[in-house]
Amino acid sequence: GANDTCSACPDGGHSKPGSFACEKCSTGKYYDETTNACGTCPRNTFTLSGAKDITGCTPCQNAGEFAKPGSGYCERCPQYEEFDDLTEGCACMTSFDRI
């Protein structure tokens, strides 16, 4: 209308084309402008609260840490275990077995 003004959505928020309402993606997700929908942050990145674009998916910073796709945090495998890309989980290191 005549009195409507446009302003930026709060941090991490987005609005769909033609909408006056701000929305926010959930934890581990970011807003994808090409699909106008929330996408999942890739493996080894995270976001606590939805990001306004994929650059808001923060890479894990410390050696030995990983994040599953769509995660809100980075985690570490227990001692003598390492991240297995195939299962996207922790597995025993070579020469170790689960007891």
The pLDDT tens digits for 32-55 are 989 989 999 999 999 998 898 999
Average pLDDT, the chain: 85
Does this model's pTM top 0.75? My answer is: no
Reported confidence tier of residue 12, pLDDT bands at 50, 70, 90:
low
Question: What CATH number is given for 13-92 in this structure?
Answer: 2.10.50
Residues 6+ apart with CB under 8 A from 54: 30, 32, 39, 41, 42
Task: Give me the pLDDT at residue 89, please.
Answer: 82
Handedness of CA 27, 33, 39, 44 (dihedral sign): negative
| Residue 72 pLDDT exceeds 90 | yes
Residue spans of the domains in the chain: they are: 13-92
Burial class (CB in 10 A: 0-12, 13-18, 19+), 19: exposed
